[in-house]
């Protein structure tokens, strides 16, 4: 089929899914070479309760390659960090949205650990949406959005939003997305948004997942200097593809405070938390 304009603002909208799925996470615990790294999570009960299949590596954005248990555990860690932030900032959560949820790495854990929360996810990739709605607990509802900011949700309807590795790729409409999230969040609601900052760029090394996409770009040395500093407020490393979601975006922390701070109170900026990216905890003013 010829490409049409929707192909530029969403992914796989007209592709029919043909999924293979993996077993639930418990099947991969013993064979996962990295399993000891996750012991701090105390995951035994979560592992027992999560009887849902895992996506294959291809259906989860390549996350954790062949390490299927690690993929699952990373989502548990991220979900618990978001829950802890809500508790810390005294936000009672009934309605939660994970923007750019992919095949549910994080929301599957909200569904099993917080069964009373209305768990929603959205993604521009229809295959991810289909995957979640077929294989995750029925208490999760996932819908497709596109890269032009517009969510089919009522204003002031969410208590909690997360976006893991999504604003790290949003090149156009970044502030419009912030306005859209602001619209659907209730006063006092918080958002957990991961970002690349100038620190990410100077901290990263060849072992980071980001390295190849940034440092192999043909123009990168015209943009950054030998200390990996970039000019201006934000840097976009764009691979030219005929679709949205093919860039890596880096922000100066001062810009995040000044510009993102116009929409939200910046409660926290956590550096490299818990792994490679920085996290902003934002609150819609009461
Ligand atoms: C790097 S992946 C991260 C997936 C997931 N958040 C996780 O941490 O496992 C980025 C995801 O965001 C989605 N995405 C990119 N731009 C988006 C947008 N404007 N709105 C919703 N999803 C978007 C992509 O399709 C992809 O699934």
Residue closest by Cα to atom 18 of ligand 1:
147
Q: Which atom of ligand 1 is nearest to the CA of 78?
A: 8
Q: State the pLDDT at residue 1.
A: 61
Q: Which residue from 7, 100, 119 has its CB within 8 A of the most atoms of ligand 1, so it is best to mutate?
A: 100
Q: Model-level pTM?
A: 0.97
Q: State the pLDDT at residue 147.
A: 93
* Residue 114 CA to ligand 1 centre (angstroms): 22
* Residue 47 CA to ligand 1 centre (angstroms): 25
* Whether the Cβ atoms of residue 235 and residue 250 lie closer than 8 Å to each other: yes
Q: State the pLDDT at residue 57.
A: 98
Instruction: Look at the domain 6-13+93-283 and name its fold.
Output: Rossmann fold (3.40.50)
Q: Where along the chain do its domains lie? A: 6-13+93-283
Q: State the pLDDT at residue 243.
A: 72
Give the pLDDT confidence of 105-139 residue by residue, as tens digits. Answer: 999 999 999 999 999 999 999 999 999 999 999 99
User: Per-10-residue mean pLDDT for the chain, 286 residues long?
Assistant: 79 93 98 95 97 98 97 98 98 98 98 97 97 97 96 98 98 96 98 98 95 94 96 92 84 98 98 97 97
* Residue 124 CA to ligand 1 centre (angstroms): 7
Query: Within 10 A of 236 (CB to CB), how many other CB atoms are there?
Result: 15
Print burial letters for 77-113: b (CB count within 10 Å at least 16), e (below 16).
bbbbbbbebbeeeeeebebbbbbbbbbbbbbbbbbbb
């Amino acid at each position: 089929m010829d490409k049409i304009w929707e192909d530029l603002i969403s992914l796989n909208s007209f592709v029919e899914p043909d999924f293979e799925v993996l077993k639930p996470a418990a099947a991969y615990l013993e064979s996962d070479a990295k399993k000891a790294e996750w012991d701090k999570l105390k995951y035994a009960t979560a592992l027992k309760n999560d009887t849902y299949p895992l996506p294959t590596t291809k259906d989860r954005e390549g996350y954790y390659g062949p390490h299927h248990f690690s993929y699952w555990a990373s989502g548990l860690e991220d979900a618990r960090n978001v829950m802890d932030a809500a508790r810390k900032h005294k936000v009672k959560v009934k309605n939660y949205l994970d923007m750019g949820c992919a095949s549910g790495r994080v929301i599957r854990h909200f569904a099993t650990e917080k069964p009373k929360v209305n768990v929603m996810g959205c993604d521009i990739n229809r295959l991810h949406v289909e995957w979640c709605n077929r294989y995750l607990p029925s208490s999760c509802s996932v819908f497709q959005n596109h890269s032009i900011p517009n969510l089919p949700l009522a204003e002031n309807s969410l208590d909690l939003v997360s976006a893991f590795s999504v604003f790290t790729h949003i090149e156009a409409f970044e502030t419009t997305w912030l306005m859209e999230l602001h619209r659907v969040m209730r006063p006092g609601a918080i958002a957990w948004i991961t970002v690349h900052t100038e620190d990410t760029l100077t901290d990263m090394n060849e072992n980071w997942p980001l390295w190849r996409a940034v440092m192999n770009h043909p123009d990168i040395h015209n943009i950054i200097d030998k200390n990996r500093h970039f000019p201006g407020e934000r840097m976009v490393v764009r691979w030219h593809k005929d679709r949205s979601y093919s860039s890596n975006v880096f922000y100066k922390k001062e810009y995040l405070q000044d510009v993102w701070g116009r929409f939200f109170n910046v409660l926290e900026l956590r550096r490299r938390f818990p792994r490679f990216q920085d996290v902003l905890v934002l609150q819609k003013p009461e």
